[in-house]
Structure 1
Protein backbone atom coordinates (compact mmCIF):
# COMPACT_ATOMS: atom_id res chain seq x y z
CA UNK A 1 0.00 0.00 0.00
CA UNK A 2 1.16 3.51 -0.66
CA UNK A 3 2.52 5.67 -3.43
CA UNK A 4 5.84 7.02 -4.62
CA UNK A 5 4.46 10.50 -5.23
CA UNK A 6 1.33 12.53 -4.60
CA UNK A 7 -0.41 15.56 -6.08
CA UNK A 8 -1.08 18.21 -3.45
CA UNK A 9 -2.50 21.09 -5.50
CA UNK A 10 -5.78 21.68 -3.69
CA UNK A 11 -4.27 20.67 -0.36
CA UNK A 12 -1.58 23.35 -0.57
CA UNK A 13 -3.80 25.94 -2.28
CA UNK A 14 -4.92 27.40 1.05
CA UNK A 15 -1.48 28.19 2.47
CA UNK A 16 -0.21 31.75 2.74
CA UNK A 17 2.53 31.21 0.15
CA UNK A 18 0.12 30.03 -2.56
CA UNK A 19 -0.96 32.61 -5.14
CA UNK A 20 -4.08 34.63 -4.50
CA UNK A 21 -5.68 36.93 -2.00
CA UNK A 22 -7.14 35.87 1.33
CA UNK A 23 -10.91 36.29 1.14
CA UNK A 24 -13.18 36.38 4.20
CA UNK A 25 -16.46 34.58 3.51
CA UNK A 26 -19.07 34.14 6.24
CA UNK A 27 -16.47 35.11 8.83
CA UNK A 28 -13.83 32.56 7.78
CA UNK A 29 -10.70 33.12 5.66
CA UNK A 30 -10.36 31.39 2.28
CA UNK A 31 -8.11 31.48 -0.76
CA UNK A 32 -9.25 31.08 -4.34
CA UNK A 33 -8.34 27.76 -5.93
CA UNK A 34 -8.13 27.05 -9.62
CA UNK A 35 -7.08 23.59 -10.71
CA UNK A 36 -4.77 23.37 -13.72
CA UNK A 37 -7.49 21.58 -15.70
CA UNK A 38 -10.17 24.17 -14.89
CA UNK A 39 -11.73 26.28 -17.60
CA UNK A 40 -10.10 29.46 -16.27
CA UNK A 41 -6.62 27.94 -16.09
CA UNK A 42 -6.92 26.31 -19.49
CA UNK A 43 -8.16 29.56 -21.01
CA UNK A 44 -5.23 31.45 -19.53
CA UNK A 45 -2.19 29.18 -19.79
CA UNK A 46 -2.54 25.41 -19.52
CA UNK A 47 -4.04 24.44 -22.90
CA UNK A 48 -0.69 23.14 -24.13
CA UNK A 49 -0.29 20.98 -21.03
CA UNK A 50 -3.50 19.13 -21.85
CA UNK A 51 -2.82 18.80 -25.56
CA UNK A 52 -5.34 21.42 -26.58
CA UNK A 53 -2.86 24.10 -27.63
CA UNK A 54 -4.65 24.51 -30.95
CA UNK A 55 -8.18 25.65 -30.43
CA UNK A 56 -10.76 23.66 -32.28
CA UNK A 57 -12.82 25.31 -35.00
CA UNK A 58 -15.41 26.13 -32.37
CA UNK A 59 -12.80 27.69 -30.04
CA UNK A 60 -13.96 25.48 -27.17
CA UNK A 61 -11.93 23.69 -24.51
CA UNK A 62 -12.95 20.69 -22.43
CA UNK A 63 -12.09 21.41 -18.78
CA UNK A 64 -11.11 18.62 -16.39
CA UNK A 65 -10.79 20.65 -13.20
CA UNK A 66 -12.64 23.07 -10.97
CA UNK A 67 -12.43 26.60 -9.62
CA UNK A 68 -13.53 27.52 -6.12
CA UNK A 69 -12.26 28.53 -2.72
CA UNK A 70 -10.44 26.52 -0.08
CA UNK A 71 -10.04 27.27 3.64
CA UNK A 72 -7.02 29.42 4.46
CA UNK A 73 -4.43 27.23 6.22
CA UNK A 74 -1.78 29.70 7.38
CA UNK A 75 1.94 29.39 6.69
CA UNK A 76 3.21 26.46 4.63
CA UNK A 77 5.78 25.46 7.29
CA UNK A 78 3.07 25.17 9.96
CA UNK A 79 0.77 23.19 7.65
CA UNK A 80 3.56 20.80 6.61
CA UNK A 81 4.55 20.32 10.26
CA UNK A 82 1.02 19.08 11.02
CA UNK A 83 0.93 17.00 7.83
CA UNK A 84 4.25 15.27 8.60
CA UNK A 85 3.08 14.73 12.17
CA UNK A 86 0.08 12.83 10.81
CA UNK A 87 2.33 10.65 8.65
CA UNK A 88 4.58 9.93 11.64
CA UNK A 89 1.54 9.03 13.72
CA UNK A 90 0.36 6.63 11.03
CA UNK A 91 3.83 5.09 10.85
CA UNK A 92 3.67 4.52 14.59
CA UNK A 93 0.28 2.78 14.29
CA UNK A 94 1.69 0.22 11.84
CA UNK A 95 5.14 -0.07 13.43
CA UNK A 96 7.07 1.44 10.52
CA UNK A 97 10.36 3.23 11.11
CA UNK A 98 10.71 4.61 7.54
CA UNK A 99 8.54 5.28 4.50
CA UNK A 100 9.49 2.12 2.59
CA UNK A 101 8.44 0.08 5.61
CA UNK A 102 5.18 2.03 5.81
CA UNK A 103 4.39 1.07 2.21
CA UNK A 104 4.77 -2.62 3.00
CA UNK A 105 3.05 -2.63 6.40
CA UNK A 106 0.11 -0.32 5.72
CA UNK A 107 -3.29 -1.82 4.99
CA UNK A 108 -6.13 0.23 3.57
CA UNK A 109 -9.57 -0.55 4.88
CA UNK A 110 -12.95 0.76 3.82
CA UNK A 111 -15.36 2.15 6.37
CA UNK A 112 -18.94 3.27 5.92
CA UNK A 113 -20.07 6.89 6.17
CA UNK A 114 -21.60 6.02 9.53
CA UNK A 115 -18.25 4.62 10.68
CA UNK A 116 -16.50 7.78 9.52
CA UNK A 117 -18.92 9.95 11.50
CA UNK A 118 -18.52 7.72 14.54
CA UNK A 119 -14.72 7.94 14.35
CA UNK A 120 -14.87 11.72 14.78
CA UNK A 121 -15.83 13.56 17.97
CA UNK A 122 -19.58 13.63 18.45
CA UNK A 123 -22.06 14.59 21.15
CA UNK A 124 -19.66 17.28 22.33
CA UNK A 125 -19.29 20.96 21.50
CA UNK A 126 -15.66 21.70 20.63
CA UNK A 127 -14.36 24.67 22.59
CA UNK A 128 -10.93 24.79 20.94
CA UNK A 129 -9.97 23.69 17.45
CA UNK A 130 -6.67 21.85 17.17
CA UNK A 131 -4.43 22.93 14.26
CA UNK A 132 -4.64 19.47 12.73
CA UNK A 133 -8.38 18.98 13.01
CA UNK A 134 -11.44 20.93 12.06
CA UNK A 135 -14.92 19.46 12.06
CA UNK A 136 -16.92 19.22 8.86
CA UNK A 137 -19.01 22.28 8.26
CA UNK A 138 -22.18 22.07 6.26
Structure 2
Protein backbone atom coordinates (compact mmCIF):
# COMPACT_ATOMS: atom_id res chain seq x y z
CA UNK A 1 0.00 0.00 0.00
CA UNK A 2 1.32 3.41 -0.93
CA UNK A 3 1.04 6.29 1.52
CA UNK A 4 0.82 9.70 -0.16
CA UNK A 5 1.93 13.16 0.84
CA UNK A 6 -0.03 16.10 -0.57
CA UNK A 7 2.66 16.57 -3.23
CA UNK A 8 2.41 12.95 -4.33
CA UNK A 9 -1.39 12.99 -4.26
CA UNK A 10 -1.33 16.08 -6.47
CA UNK A 11 0.53 14.06 -9.11
CA UNK A 12 -1.87 11.12 -8.99
CA UNK A 13 -2.87 9.95 -12.47
CA UNK A 14 -6.63 10.31 -11.88
CA UNK A 15 -8.86 13.13 -10.66
CA UNK A 16 -9.80 12.41 -7.04
CA UNK A 17 -12.61 13.43 -4.72
CA UNK A 18 -13.22 13.00 -0.98
CA UNK A 19 -14.58 9.44 -1.17
CA UNK A 20 -11.41 8.35 -3.00
CA UNK A 21 -9.04 9.14 -0.14
CA UNK A 22 -8.59 8.68 3.58
CA UNK A 23 -6.25 10.23 6.12
CA UNK A 24 -3.76 7.83 7.69
CA UNK A 25 -2.22 8.33 11.16
CA UNK A 26 1.50 7.58 10.93
CA UNK A 27 2.74 8.36 14.44
CA UNK A 28 1.82 7.70 18.06
CA UNK A 29 -0.49 10.44 19.30
CA UNK A 30 0.52 12.29 22.44
CA UNK A 31 -2.85 14.03 22.76
CA UNK A 32 -4.73 13.00 25.90
CA UNK A 33 -7.96 14.89 25.24
CA UNK A 34 -9.72 16.70 22.40
CA UNK A 35 -9.92 19.70 24.73
CA UNK A 36 -6.18 20.19 24.21
CA UNK A 37 -6.80 20.81 20.51
CA UNK A 38 -7.62 24.19 18.96
CA UNK A 39 -9.40 24.66 15.64
CA UNK A 40 -9.46 28.43 15.97
CA UNK A 41 -7.99 30.48 13.14
CA UNK A 42 -8.39 33.74 11.24
CA UNK A 43 -10.02 34.33 7.87
CA UNK A 44 -9.67 37.66 6.05
CA UNK A 45 -9.13 39.46 9.32
CA UNK A 46 -12.01 37.75 11.14
CA UNK A 47 -11.23 35.53 14.12
CA UNK A 48 -13.16 32.26 13.89
CA UNK A 49 -13.67 29.25 16.14
CA UNK A 50 -14.21 26.74 13.35
CA UNK A 51 -13.10 26.93 9.66
CA UNK A 52 -16.61 26.79 8.25
CA UNK A 53 -18.37 29.26 5.94
CA UNK A 54 -21.89 28.88 4.59
CA UNK A 55 -22.83 28.91 0.92
CA UNK A 56 -24.62 32.07 -0.29
CA UNK A 57 -27.62 30.07 -1.54
CA UNK A 58 -31.12 31.42 -1.05
CA UNK A 59 -32.21 28.25 0.78
CA UNK A 60 -29.12 28.19 3.02
CA UNK A 61 -28.00 31.63 4.18
CA UNK A 62 -30.17 34.57 5.05
CA UNK A 63 -29.81 37.10 7.87
CA UNK A 64 -30.83 34.60 10.57
CA UNK A 65 -28.37 31.91 9.47
CA UNK A 66 -25.47 34.34 9.07
CA UNK A 67 -26.09 35.82 12.52
CA UNK A 68 -26.29 32.41 14.17
CA UNK A 69 -23.15 31.14 12.47
CA UNK A 70 -21.32 34.27 13.60
CA UNK A 71 -22.35 33.58 17.20
CA UNK A 72 -21.02 30.01 16.81
CA UNK A 73 -17.64 31.24 15.58
CA UNK A 74 -18.20 30.44 11.91
CA UNK A 75 -19.03 32.74 8.97
CA UNK A 76 -22.22 32.99 6.94
CA UNK A 77 -22.50 34.68 3.54
CA UNK A 78 -25.94 36.25 3.11
CA UNK A 79 -27.28 35.31 -0.33
CA UNK A 80 -27.53 38.04 -2.99
CA UNK A 81 -31.25 37.42 -3.49
CA UNK A 82 -32.03 38.46 0.10
CA UNK A 83 -33.78 41.84 0.35
CA UNK A 84 -33.36 42.03 4.14
CA UNK A 85 -30.06 43.92 3.98
CA UNK A 86 -31.62 46.89 2.22
CA UNK A 87 -34.35 46.96 4.86
CA UNK A 88 -31.80 46.83 7.67
CA UNK A 89 -29.72 49.64 6.18
CA UNK A 90 -32.76 51.81 5.50
CA UNK A 91 -34.14 51.30 9.01
CA UNK A 92 -30.79 52.11 10.64
CA UNK A 93 -30.75 48.94 12.73
CA UNK A 94 -28.16 48.61 15.48
CA UNK A 95 -24.74 47.36 14.37
CA UNK A 96 -22.17 45.48 16.44
CA UNK A 97 -18.71 46.61 17.54
CA UNK A 98 -17.28 45.72 14.12
CA UNK A 99 -19.86 48.05 12.53
CA UNK A 100 -21.66 45.06 11.01
CA UNK A 101 -25.36 44.27 11.24
CA UNK A 102 -26.26 41.59 13.81
CA UNK A 103 -22.70 40.25 13.77
CA UNK A 104 -22.91 39.27 10.07
CA UNK A 105 -19.46 39.17 8.44
CA UNK A 106 -20.10 38.51 4.75
CA UNK A 107 -22.61 39.32 2.02
CA UNK A 108 -22.75 38.15 -1.61
CA UNK A 109 -23.37 40.37 -4.60
CA UNK A 110 -23.90 39.81 -8.31
CA UNK A 111 -22.11 41.47 -11.21
CA UNK A 112 -25.07 43.84 -11.59
CA UNK A 113 -25.57 44.71 -7.91
CA UNK A 114 -26.36 48.36 -7.16
CA UNK A 115 -23.42 50.61 -6.31
CA UNK A 116 -25.33 51.94 -3.29
CA UNK A 117 -25.44 48.46 -1.75
CA UNK A 118 -21.74 47.85 -2.39
CA UNK A 119 -20.88 51.21 -0.83
CA UNK A 120 -22.87 50.44 2.33
CA UNK A 121 -21.29 47.00 2.63
CA UNK A 122 -17.83 48.52 2.25
CA UNK A 123 -18.56 51.25 4.80
CA UNK A 124 -19.43 48.58 7.37
CA UNK A 125 -16.40 46.45 6.45
CA UNK A 126 -18.41 43.43 5.35
CA UNK A 127 -16.53 40.77 3.42
CA UNK A 128 -17.98 40.93 -0.11
CA UNK A 129 -18.48 37.73 -2.09
CA UNK A 130 -18.84 38.18 -5.85
CA UNK A 131 -21.19 35.25 -6.35
CA UNK A 132 -20.66 33.80 -9.81
CA UNK A 133 -20.23 30.26 -11.09
CA UNK A 134 -17.04 31.07 -13.01
CA UNK A 135 -14.29 33.32 -11.68
CA UNK A 136 -12.27 32.81 -14.86
CA UNK A 137 -14.17 35.60 -16.54
CA UNK A 138 -13.09 39.12 -17.48
CA UNK A 139 -16.31 40.62 -16.09
CA UNK A 140 -15.63 39.07 -12.67
CA UNK A 141 -12.04 40.29 -12.67
CA UNK A 142 -13.13 43.77 -13.73
CA UNK A 143 -15.79 43.91 -10.98
CA UNK A 144 -13.25 42.84 -8.38
CA UNK A 145 -10.75 45.48 -9.56
CA UNK A 146 -13.38 48.22 -9.52
CA UNK A 147 -14.46 47.47 -5.96
CA UNK A 148 -10.89 47.16 -4.69
CA UNK A 149 -9.82 50.47 -6.23
CA UNK A 150 -12.76 52.30 -4.68
CA UNK A 151 -13.14 50.64 -1.28
CA UNK A 152 -11.04 49.14 1.50
CA UNK A 153 -12.82 45.78 1.66
CA UNK A 154 -12.05 42.05 1.52
CA UNK A 155 -13.38 40.20 -1.53
CA UNK A 156 -14.19 36.51 -2.18
CA UNK A 157 -14.53 35.36 -5.79
CA UNK A 158 -15.50 32.01 -7.25
CA UNK A 159 -15.43 29.49 -8.58
CA UNK A 160 -12.33 27.89 -10.09
CA UNK A 161 -11.41 24.23 -10.70
CA UNK A 162 -7.62 24.61 -10.96
CA UNK A 163 -4.83 27.07 -10.23
CA UNK A 164 -4.15 28.06 -13.84
CA UNK A 165 -5.72 31.52 -13.44
CA UNK A 166 -5.07 32.05 -9.74
CA UNK A 167 -2.54 34.85 -10.31
CA UNK A 168 -5.08 36.75 -12.43
CA UNK A 169 -7.53 36.67 -9.51
CA UNK A 170 -4.86 37.88 -7.08
CA UNK A 171 -3.85 40.66 -9.47
CA UNK A 172 -7.50 41.73 -9.64
CA UNK A 173 -7.55 42.09 -5.86
CA UNK A 174 -9.27 38.88 -4.74
CA UNK A 175 -8.54 37.99 -1.10
CA UNK A 176 -10.13 34.53 -1.22
CA UNK A 177 -11.33 32.13 -3.89
CA UNK A 178 -13.94 29.38 -3.88
CA UNK A 179 -12.39 26.19 -5.24
CA UNK A 180 -14.55 23.62 -7.02
CA UNK A 181 -16.79 23.48 -10.07
CA UNK A 182 -19.63 21.00 -10.38
CA UNK A 183 -19.21 19.30 -7.00
CA UNK A 184 -22.29 20.72 -5.25
CA UNK A 185 -25.07 18.25 -4.45
CA UNK A 186 -27.65 20.27 -6.41
CA UNK A 187 -25.21 21.57 -9.04
CA UNK A 188 -25.54 20.14 -12.55
CA UNK A 189 -22.75 22.18 -14.15
CA UNK A 190 -20.51 19.18 -14.86
CA UNK A 191 -23.41 17.20 -16.30
CA UNK A 192 -24.57 20.10 -18.48
CA UNK A 193 -21.15 21.34 -19.60
CA UNK A 194 -18.63 18.54 -19.06
CA UNK A 195 -16.49 20.90 -16.96
CA UNK A 196 -14.90 20.20 -13.59
CA UNK A 197 -12.62 17.78 -11.74
CA UNK A 198 -12.76 16.00 -8.38
CA UNK A 199 -12.67 18.24 -5.33
CA UNK A 200 -9.48 16.74 -3.90
CA UNK A 201 -7.61 17.35 -7.15
CA UNK A 202 -9.05 20.88 -7.43
CA UNK A 203 -7.92 21.84 -3.94
CA UNK A 204 -4.45 20.39 -4.38
CA UNK A 205 -3.87 22.04 -7.75
CA UNK A 206 -4.85 25.48 -6.43
CA UNK A 207 -2.96 24.94 -3.17
CA UNK A 208 0.32 24.13 -4.90
CA UNK A 209 -0.14 26.90 -7.44
CA UNK A 210 -0.48 29.34 -4.54
CA UNK A 211 2.60 27.88 -2.88
CA UNK A 212 4.80 27.78 -5.98
CA UNK A 213 3.87 31.28 -7.13
CA UNK A 214 3.90 32.67 -3.57
CA UNK A 215 0.46 34.18 -3.93
CA UNK A 216 -1.47 35.68 -1.03
CA UNK A 217 -5.04 34.41 -1.29
CA UNK A 218 -7.22 32.26 0.98
CA UNK A 219 -8.70 29.01 -0.34
CA UNK A 220 -12.29 27.95 0.29
CA UNK A 221 -13.17 24.33 -0.50
CA UNK A 222 -16.61 24.63 -2.11
CA UNK A 223 -18.64 21.56 -3.03
CA UNK A 224 -18.85 17.85 -2.32
CA UNK A 225 -18.91 18.09 1.49
CA UNK A 226 -21.23 15.41 2.91
CA UNK A 227 -19.87 14.85 6.40
CA UNK A 228 -17.51 16.09 9.12
CA UNK A 229 -14.90 13.70 7.71
CA UNK A 230 -14.98 15.53 4.38
CA UNK A 231 -14.40 18.81 6.22
CA UNK A 232 -11.33 17.27 7.87
CA UNK A 233 -9.99 16.10 4.50
CA UNK A 234 -10.56 19.51 2.89
CA UNK A 235 -8.60 21.27 5.64
CA UNK A 236 -5.82 18.66 5.62
CA UNK A 237 -5.46 19.11 1.85
CA UNK A 238 -4.71 22.81 2.32
CA UNK A 239 -8.02 24.67 2.38
CA UNK A 240 -8.30 27.62 4.74
CA UNK A 241 -12.09 27.36 4.97
CA UNK A 242 -14.75 24.84 4.00
CA UNK A 243 -18.02 26.02 2.44
CA UNK A 244 -21.18 24.14 3.39
CA UNK A 245 -24.47 24.00 1.53
CA UNK A 246 -26.33 20.73 1.90
CA UNK A 247 -24.95 20.03 5.39
CA UNK A 248 -26.61 23.23 6.61
CA UNK A 249 -29.74 22.86 4.45
CA UNK A 250 -32.86 21.90 6.35
CA UNK A 251 -31.78 23.45 9.63
CA UNK A 252 -33.99 25.77 11.63
CA UNK A 253 -32.07 28.91 10.63
CA UNK A 254 -32.24 28.43 6.85
CA UNK A 255 -34.71 30.63 4.92
CA UNK A 256 -38.08 29.10 4.13
CA UNK A 257 -40.89 27.34 5.92
CA UNK A 258 -40.84 23.87 7.45
CA UNK A 259 -43.08 21.61 5.37
CA UNK A 260 -44.86 18.51 6.68
CA UNK A 261 -45.20 15.70 4.14
CA UNK A 262 -45.86 11.98 4.77
CA UNK A 263 -45.59 12.62 8.53
CA UNK A 264 -42.08 14.00 8.17
CA UNK A 265 -40.73 17.55 8.31
CA UNK A 266 -38.83 18.98 5.34
CA UNK A 267 -37.29 22.20 4.01
CA UNK A 268 -36.54 23.30 0.46
CA UNK A 269 -32.99 23.20 -0.93
CA UNK A 270 -31.94 24.37 -4.39
CA UNK A 271 -28.94 25.48 -6.39
CA UNK A 272 -28.32 29.15 -7.12
CA UNK A 273 -28.65 28.46 -10.86
CA UNK A 274 -31.86 26.44 -10.55
CA UNK A 275 -35.12 27.43 -12.23
CA UNK A 276 -36.63 28.32 -8.85
CA UNK A 277 -34.00 31.03 -8.43
CA UNK A 278 -33.76 32.24 -12.03
CA UNK A 279 -37.53 31.98 -12.65
CA UNK A 280 -36.97 31.92 -16.40
CA UNK A 281 -36.25 29.25 -18.96
CA UNK A 282 -32.60 29.98 -19.64
CA UNK A 283 -29.70 27.56 -19.21
CA UNK A 284 -30.19 25.81 -15.86
CA UNK A 285 -27.21 24.50 -13.88
CA UNK A 286 -28.91 23.62 -10.59
CA UNK A 287 -31.65 21.41 -9.20
CA UNK A 288 -34.33 21.75 -6.53
CA UNK A 289 -35.12 19.20 -3.85
CA UNK A 290 -36.41 18.75 -0.30
CA UNK A 291 -34.21 17.80 2.65
CA UNK A 292 -35.30 16.49 6.07
CA UNK A 293 -35.66 19.10 8.79
CA UNK A 294 -32.57 18.96 11.03
CA UNK A 295 -33.31 21.34 13.90
CA UNK A 296 -30.83 24.02 15.09
CA UNK A 297 -27.72 24.61 12.98
CA UNK A 298 -25.74 24.59 16.23
CA UNK A 299 -26.02 20.79 16.25
CA UNK A 300 -24.41 20.54 12.79
CA UNK A 301 -21.56 22.90 13.70
CA UNK A 302 -20.91 21.04 16.97
CA UNK A 303 -20.74 17.70 15.15
CA UNK A 304 -18.21 19.11 12.68
CA UNK A 305 -16.14 20.55 15.53
CA UNK A 306 -16.14 17.20 17.34
CA UNK A 307 -15.22 15.30 14.18
CA UNK A 308 -12.39 17.67 13.33
CA UNK A 309 -10.91 17.55 16.83
CA UNK A 310 -11.24 13.78 16.99
CA UNK A 311 -9.42 13.39 13.66
CA UNK A 312 -6.68 15.71 14.85
CA UNK A 313 -6.21 13.61 17.99
CA UNK A 314 -5.70 10.53 15.77
CA UNK A 315 -3.20 12.48 13.67
CA UNK A 316 -1.38 13.87 16.74
CA UNK A 317 -2.09 17.46 15.69
CA UNK A 318 -2.87 20.28 18.12
CA UNK A 319 -3.63 22.90 15.47
CA UNK A 320 -5.00 23.15 11.93
CA UNK A 321 -1.57 24.20 10.65
CA UNK A 322 -0.05 21.06 12.17
CA UNK A 323 -2.75 18.93 10.52
CA UNK A 324 -1.86 20.36 7.10
CA UNK A 325 1.85 19.80 7.70
CA UNK A 326 1.53 16.18 8.89
CA UNK A 327 -1.29 14.95 6.68
CA UNK A 328 -0.70 11.62 4.95
CA UNK A 329 -3.25 9.94 2.69
CA UNK A 330 -4.17 6.64 1.11
CA UNK A 331 -6.22 6.12 -2.05
CA UNK A 332 -9.18 3.79 -1.54
CA UNK A 333 -10.55 1.16 -3.87
CA UNK A 334 -14.32 1.24 -4.33
CA UNK A 335 -14.64 -1.82 -2.09
CA UNK A 336 -12.52 -0.17 0.61
CA UNK A 337 -14.79 2.86 0.56
CA UNK A 338 -17.93 0.74 0.80
CA UNK A 339 -16.45 -1.34 3.64
CA UNK A 340 -16.07 1.84 5.73
CA UNK A 341 -19.73 2.83 5.47
CA UNK A 342 -22.05 2.04 8.42
CA UNK A 343 -24.17 -1.04 7.77
CA UNK A 344 -27.87 -1.02 8.53
TM-score (norm: length of structure 1):
0.66
1-structure distance, mates of 2:333, 2:263: 32
1:37 and 2:273 matched: yes
Alignment of 1:5-84 (within 5 A): 5-43=241-279, 60-84=281-305
1:74-113 superposed matches below 5 A: 74-113=295-334
CA contact (8 A) 1:34 1:68 kept: yes
Deviation at 1:27, TM superposition (A): 3.9
Partners in 2 of 1:83 and 1:116 — Cα distance?
21
Q: Is contact 2:272-2:286 (8 Å) kept?
A: yes
TM-aligned CA deviation for residue 26 of structure 1: 4.0
Contact 2:268–2:290 at 8 Å: present in 1 too?
yes
8 Å CA contact 2:275, 2:281 repeated in 1: no
Q: Is the Cα contact below 8 Å between 2:273 and 2:285 reproduced in 1?
A: yes
Alpha-carbon deviations, 1:76-124, whole Å to 9, x = none? 11211111111111111211111111122223433234323322333xx
Distance 2:260 2:331 in 1: 36
Deviations 1:38-64 (A, max 9, x none): 121123xxxxxxxxxxxxxxx742222
Unmatched tracts of structure 1, length 5 or more: 44-58, 126-138
Q: Which moved more, 1:113-122 or 1:94-103?
A: 113-122
Q: d(CA) in 1 for partners of 2:328 and 2:259? A: 39
Q: Whole-Å Cα distance in 2 between the matches of residues 31 and 40 of structure 1?
A: 14
Contact 2:253 2:297 in 1 (8 A): yes
RMSD: 2.1
Number of paired residues?
A: 108
Aligned match of 2:143: none
Local SS of the residue matching 2:265: strand
| 3-state SS in 2 of match to 1:40 | helix
CA distance in 2, matches of 1:109, 1:71: 33
Maintained 8 Å contact 2:267/2:292: yes
Q: Name segments (4+ residues, structure 1) moved above 4 Å.
A: none
What TM-score comes out, normalization by structure 2 length? 0.29
Q: Which structure carries more strand by proportion?
A: 2
- Label 1:121 to 1:12 Cα distance change in 2 as closer, same or farther (>3 A): closer
State the match for 1:115 in structure 2. 336
SS of the equivalent of 1:11 reads coil
Q: Is contact 2:247-2:300 (8 Å) kept?
A: no
